[in-house]
Structure 1
């Protein structure tokens, strides 16, 4: 079986856990699950940005690209957008105890072992106990955090949560376009183009999302919501003029802006209808 199919299989398991948990937990709003799913996705993205992107702890072997960092990005997108948030929802929605969390952690370690043996994943300096510790902590944290969202009582927690949600929505199209060969960011932060481009835009959007949250979640007037669109357009336009944003194969700034604006609109809609604070 080709390497990528194993990644798809793991992703299906994660999505299955998500669907099962949402179906079983009818008392929780679907919008809350969506926000929590995106929140936990972002937690894993940021964690792997440091562990994989900056520290080169391990490598994914998807078999789709010849470039090692293109493979890493694809493996990262598949697993961290499906399996990790899926098990987090499974634990949080069903209020699983430490015994079940330990069992899920063992499943993670077993999958990691099988992936290593089959050659679709490799360790550089990473160790099994690191996976075990982080997965156990991630599941416990997810369970505790979910209780703060259902119901939501703190405006600070709400804004923090939407910061992570906003980042996922803004960032997701970028690595996809990079892997499709449509655009990249030419900054030479690393020797590898895929890694360098990802490092730059990841850091850039971590800052950009602060503006998005402030304008949408804190400043409630409708006209403040126009600011993130302006920031997105002028930011990418300036990067293009500085030859940092490089567009290829017939791709142009208009197409990128359609995706960018769609992400912002999606965020505004989710923020409007999710995690509503009860009026005292």
Structure 2
């Protein structure tokens, strides 16, 4: 199987889970706001880990330029899979056991991606993922509750992170598809 197949599978599963959650959940607006809050935070964290400190590389092998290809893999992980899981956990108030099981599932995916050479660690380690994902999931639960009666700060942060996800993802697509925003250094 080509590398991108597994990224499409992960994207497809994440989208199906998110759509089913939206259909079944009563407070759709809060669910989507939580999704974009976590996605925006994940983009910020991944900016430092992936781009600044080069902690790992994704290898979907869908785009010729390695940097863009790795960023596409990051969007699947940080912009889709993790925020979906965090939003589902928050929306349905899943307990600690489900958080740990979900974390272990992501650890399994990470290890499979490493084994199939879809993803490489540099200084990043799987145990770091194991420590940070529960924090992410509890943060999603916390923010989900804050969105019940949001203060001005909560609304501002949520809106800012939502817009940053839209603009960063759109800008990435414009760069990849139309070769815009490319500069020689």
TM-score calculated relative to the size of structure 1: 0.63
Q: Aligned residues, how many?
A: 185
2:80 is the counterpart of 1:52: no
Alpha-carbon distance in structure 1 between the residues aligned to 2:164 and 2:83: 15
Q: Specify which of 75, 78, 86 is matched with residue 88 of structure 1.
A: 86
Matches within 5 A, 1:1-280: 1-26=1-26, 28=27, 30-149=28-147, 151-186=148-183, 188=185
Alpha-carbon distance in structure 1 between the residues aligned to 2:133 and 2:58: 18
Higher relative contact order (CA 8 A, sep 6+): 2
1:233-259 Cα deviation digits (max 9, x unpaired): xxxxxxxxxxxxxxxxxxxxxxxxxxx
Alpha-carbon distance in structure 2 between the residues aligned to 1:173 and 1:19: 21
Aligned to 2:166, what secondary structure does the other structure show? Answer: helix
Determine if contact 1:152/1:158 at 8 Å carries over to the other structure: no
Alpha-carbon distance in structure 1 between the residues aligned to 2:62 and 2:180: 19
Determine if contact 1:17/1:89 at 8 Å carries over to the other structure: no
TM-aligned CA deviation for residue 185 of structure 1: 4.1
- Larger of the two Rg values belongs to structure: 1
Alpha-carbon distance in structure 1 between the residues aligned to 2:82 and 2:136: 9
Determine if contact 2:30/2:144 at 8 Å carries over to the other structure: no
TM-score calculated relative to the size of structure 2: 0.93
Superposition CA RMSD, Å: 1.5
Determine if contact 2:57/2:121 at 8 Å carries over to the other structure: yes
Uncovered stretches (5+) of structure 2, i.e. residues with no partner? none
Uncovered stretches (5+) of structure 1, i.e. residues with no partner? 189-280
1:7-58 Cα deviation digits (max 9, x unpaired): 01111221222122222222x1x23222222221111111101000001101
Determine if contact 2:31/2:144 at 8 Å carries over to the other structure: no
Structure 1 pair 156–48 and aligned structure 2 pair: CA distance change class (3 A)? same
Determine if contact 2:11/2:80 at 8 Å carries over to the other structure: yes
